[in-house]
């Protein structure tokens, strides 16, 4: 148990060091000159070396761990093992088994996990599904391009470029959309951080509306029809900056164009005018 606690402490220290390293890297050098840049680079190299040293130490500690001869201690639940009733005596060992099984399943079911290296007790069966990733050739709209890539393995990302207006990344599991990221046409889509928002307020608002529409068009029974309908609705943003609001007739309201599209008619509305 002491080795296990020491290992957990090493993991916490490593995570803390990595977090501090990336925080300093995100803050950057306070003043942009050669002396400060050289000092900043030297500090980053030292932090990076410390992280590599901690990783090697952690690997050594993990390799020295042994399989525990008895179940792990789960707090006050150990008192269940002292039950005198016959049908309750095996409850504690069953809880330990269920806890381990639940933790194993939670680590393995997430298709967007950062690492695909995990142990399995038996050979996995090839899973068949009638829902495939949408084919860009089957979905076509004027002045819009669709590109499918798989930076996360099984989960596909559909990159949409609408004319010279915007870019979007749709994270799909099969043909079910799980996340939408919208950026300006001049912005870069970073697959390592699809949750990063656009630096433009108009596209941040468009992203909110596209995620709301994603829930509206969700249909697990008719996924192909759902994603085609969603793509047709999404394409209505091709005239984001040239169409006035259907209700007030103005192009701008609070400095923004009509960022909402009606889910049926695809007509543009300002946020203040859609209700």
In a domain, 216, yes or no: yes
Q: pTM of the full predicted structure?
A: 0.51
In a domain, 57, yes or no: yes
The predicted model gives 19-43 an average pLDDT of 79
Q: What is the mean pLDDT of the chain?
A: 78
In a domain, 100, yes or no: no
Tens-digit pLDDT profile for residues 187-243: 999 888 888 899 999 999 999 999 999 989 888 788 888 888 999 999 999 999 999
Question: Containing domain of residue 57, as a range?
Answer: 1-64
Last residue of a domain, one of 64, 86, 105: 64
Question: Of the spans 25-39, 162-176, 242-256, which averages the highest pLDDT?
Answer: 242-256
152 and 259 fall within a common domain: yes
Position 31 scores a pLDDT of 72
Domains identified in the chain, total number: 2
Q: What is the SS3 string spanning the chain?
A: CHHHHHHHHHHHHHHHHHHHHHHHHHHCCCCCCHHHHHHHHHHHHHHHHHHHHHHHHHHHHHHHCCCCCCCCCCHHHHHHHHCCCHHHCCHHHHHHHHHHHHHHHHHHCCCCCCCCCCCCCCCCCCCCCCCCCCCCCCCCCCCEEEEEEEEECCEEEEEEEECCCEEEEEEEECCEEEEEEEEECCCCCCCCCCCCCCCCHHHHHHHHHHHHHHHHCCCCCCHHHHHHHHHHHHHHHHHCCCCCCCCCCCCCECCECCCEECCCCCCEECCCCCC
Last residue of a domain, one of 37, 64, 91: 64
């Amino acid at each position: 148990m002491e080795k296990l606690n020491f290992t957990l402490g090493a993991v916490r220290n490593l995570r803390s060091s990595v977090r501090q390293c990336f925080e300093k890297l995100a803050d950057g050098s306070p003043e942009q000159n050669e002396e400060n840049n050289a000092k900043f680079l030297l500090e980053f190299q030292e932090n990076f070396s410390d992280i590599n040293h901690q990783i090697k130490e952690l690997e050594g500690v993990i390799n020295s761990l042994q399989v525990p001869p008895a179940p792990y201690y789960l707090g006050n639940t150990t008192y269940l093992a002292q039950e005198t009733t016959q049908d309750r005596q095996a409850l504690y060992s069953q809880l330990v088994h269920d806890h381990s099984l639940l933790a194993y399943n939670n680590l393995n079911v997430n298709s967007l996990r950062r690492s695909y290296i995990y142990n399995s007790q038996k050979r996995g069966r090839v899973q068949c599904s009638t829902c495939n990733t949408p084919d860009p050739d089957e979905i076509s709209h004027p002045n819009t391009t669709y590109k499918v890539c798989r930076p996360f393995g099984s989960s596909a990302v559909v990159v949409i470029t609408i004319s010279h207006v915007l870019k979007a990344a749709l994270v799909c599991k099969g043909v079910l959309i799980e996340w939408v990221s919208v950026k300006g046409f001049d912005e870069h889509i970073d697959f390592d951080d699809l949750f990063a928002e656009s630096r433009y307020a108009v596209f941040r608002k468009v992203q909110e509306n596209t995620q709301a529409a994603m829930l509206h068009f969700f249909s697990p029974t008719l996924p192909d029809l759902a994603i085609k309908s969603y793509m047709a609705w999404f394409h209505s943003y091709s005239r984001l900056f040239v169409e006035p609001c259907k209700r007030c007739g103005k192009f701008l309201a609070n400095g923004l164009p009509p960022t909402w599209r009606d889910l049926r008619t695809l007509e543009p509305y300002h946020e203040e005018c859609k209700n």
